[in-house]
């Protein structure tokens, strides 16, 4: 037996905020408002989050219970995150871009009985809770509560303590649904250990490379795969965390960057297109900004060049998925900027290219294959499902096609399925096709993605109407409203005399994409 041992130190997320509160107490979390921005230091944020834990405990929330949030990026949302996770409950983030019925389905699955919502999202939150048909508490942050109960007075009245970190590091901490990727949403459960290790990975010098000297603008939403881990990474190094609230237009972001001395900004490409267009139109300069990290959707080389030249910044590309917590690869600063390359993996995540049947390709470099991933922050099993999401060797099939160059850099070349990625969010054509295809005037309907300079891709609807039938575009699109998210509705309707069919009798989407996709 070897004498000696090391201390047990649970890898739980509360430790990031505790560290910042102790060693970087005056570093700030800043939230943009219509008037004066809200500011809070990490020490005060920890106290505030602790009081929210007391409130939740008083409402009957216990470890492993789910607490849902429907909120924009704000300091109150961050406080709720740490309050929920610190006490051992699970933070279930909801995407306000989805419909009430989609969100209700997710709440039914998670069985959350407390929903915390930004004030302007409270009416949607009420619809969601009403749709669940069970008793649920609606707590309102970020403004006056016209629906539900204001959380602020409850925080002020909170007394006592709710213990943090009194659970195993493998306990669940977060739940995020992959909206629309295969029809029914699937939940991804994060654990404290997985998110802790994910945070350490993205802090590496060859990944996102944040330091305590940075001011990080998190434009990527907190409801989108943990905001790529930024609410954990910023306090871990004591960086200033800047949150835009709901306003992410170019002018608002430019004001925020200039006022707060933002050094690194993180979000999808369409956000930065708006920023660079504002700068080009006004001649404004943003001297503090040094880097932009993009992901969520492919970036056109012309847009990368425009951003780098127009803003005078370095663009780092990345690729990931909700199932990866979500970072998979990031382009290191030492690599040349290249919009075609997603990046390269850091220690803690591994990549594999396979054939269509899942067998590893004998050659892993300079060939195209189906991409699989494994690592400490990669999904093992979806929420509520018994079957594993990985193969017998632990590899998770991403559904993407990719190439890995001779130096180990990853390039995403396509998707094995027909999903459309618009502005960093997935659109499922099958759901749109089911609605339009059911109309009596329509024989066949197909939805494909068409290249769009702003959103990456936008859906277009192709239809073969029944002979002799005259139907307007609006009549074809109107049934979609209220059944799918508004941003899923196709941008254009094209009528075909005959829908092309493949040998199997199915609609030939390869031909449709070639002819109408703009590629």
List the catalytic residues. 178, 323, 421, 426
Q: How far is 243 from 216, CA to CA, in rounded Å?
A: 9
Q: How far is 465 from 498, CA to CA, in rounded Å?
A: 9
Q: Would strands 28-31 and 38-41 be described as parallel, antiparallel, or unpaired?
A: antiparallel
Give the dihedral of Cα atoms 127, 172, 319, 317; nearest 10 deg: 90
Look up residue 375 and give its two tokens. Answer: 């690592």
Q: Fill in the DSSP letter of residue 478.
A: G
Q: DSSP labels for 410-475?
A: EEEEEESS--EEETTEEE-HHHHHHHHHTSTTEEEEEEEEEEETTTEEEEEEEEEEPTT----HHH
Q: Which value, in Å, is the radius of gyration of the alpha carbons in the chain?
A: 23
Residues 6+ apart with CB under 8 A from 393: 374
Degrees to nearest 5, angle at CA 83 with 163 and 25: 90
Look up residue 440 and give its two tokens. Answer: 């009596």
Contact 228, 295 (CB under 8 A): yes
Instruction: Give the DSSP H/E element, type plus range, for residue 115.
Output: strand 114-118
Q: At what angle do helices 230-237 and 14-23 cross, to 10 degrees?
A: 30
């Amino acid at each position: 037996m070897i004498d000696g041992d090391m201390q047990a130190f649970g890898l739980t997320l509360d430790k990031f905020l505790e560290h910042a509160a102790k060693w970087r107490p005056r570093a700030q979390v800043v939230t943009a408002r219509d008037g004066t921005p809200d500011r809070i230091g990490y020490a005060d944020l920890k106290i505030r989050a602790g009081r929210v834990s007391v409130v939740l405990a008083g409402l009957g929330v216990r470890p492993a219970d789910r607490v849902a949030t429907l909120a924009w990026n704000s300091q109150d949302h961050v406080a709720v995150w740490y309050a929920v996770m610190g006490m051992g409950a699970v933070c279930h983030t909801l995407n306000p871009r989805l419909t009430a019925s989609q969100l209700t389905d997710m709440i039914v699955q998670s069985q959350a009985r407390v929903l915390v919502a930004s004030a302007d999202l409270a009416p949607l939150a009420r619809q969601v809770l009403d749709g669940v048909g069970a008793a649920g508490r609606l707590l309102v942050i970020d403004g006056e509560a016209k629906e539900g109960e204001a959380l602020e007075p409850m925080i002020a009245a909170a007394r006592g303590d709710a213990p943090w970190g009194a659970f195993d590091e493998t306990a669940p901490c977060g739940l995020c649904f992959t909206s629309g990727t295969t029809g029914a949403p699937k939940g991804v459960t994060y654990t404290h250990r997985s998110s802790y290790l994910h945070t350490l990975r993205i802090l590496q010098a060859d990944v996102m490379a944040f330091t305590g000297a940075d001011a990080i603008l998190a434009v990527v939403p907190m409801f989108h795969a943990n905001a790529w881990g930024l609410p954990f990474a910023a306090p871990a190094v004591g960086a200033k965390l800047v949150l835009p609230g709901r306003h992410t237009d170019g002018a608002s972001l430019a004001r925020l960057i200039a006022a707060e001395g933002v050094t690194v900004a993180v979000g999808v490409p369409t956000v930065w297109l708006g920023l660079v267009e504002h700068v080009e139109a006004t001649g404004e300069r943003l001297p503090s900004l040094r880097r932009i990290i993009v992901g969520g959707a492919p970036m056109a080389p012309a847009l990368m060049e425009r951003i780098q030249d127009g803003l005078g910044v370095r663009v780092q590309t990345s690729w990931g998925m909700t199932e990866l917590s979500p970072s998979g690869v990031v382009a290191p600063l030492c690599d040349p900027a290249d919009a075609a390359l997603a990046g390269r993996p850091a220690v803690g995540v591994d990549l594999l290219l396979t054939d269509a049947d899942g067998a590893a390709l004998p050659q892993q470099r300079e060939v195209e294959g189906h991409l699989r991933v494994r690592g400490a922050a990669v999904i093992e099993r979806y929420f509520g499902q018994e079957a594993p999401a990985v193969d017998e060797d632990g590899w998770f099939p991403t559904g993407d096609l990719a190439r890995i160059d001779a130096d180990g850099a990853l390039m995403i070349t396509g998707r094995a399925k027909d999903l459309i990625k618009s502005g960093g969010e997935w659109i499922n054509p099958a759901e749109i096709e089911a609605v339009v295809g059911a109309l009596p005037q329509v024989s066949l309907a197909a939805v494909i993605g068409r290249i769009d300079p702003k959103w990456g891709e936008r859906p277009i609807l192709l239809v073969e109407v029944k002979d002799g039938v005259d139907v307007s575009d609006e009549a074809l699109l109107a049934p979609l409203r209220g059944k799918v998210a508004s941003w899923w509705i196709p941008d254009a309707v094209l009528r075909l005399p005959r829908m092309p069919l493949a040998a199997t009798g199915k609609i030939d989407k390869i031909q449709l994409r070639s002819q109408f996709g703009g590629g």
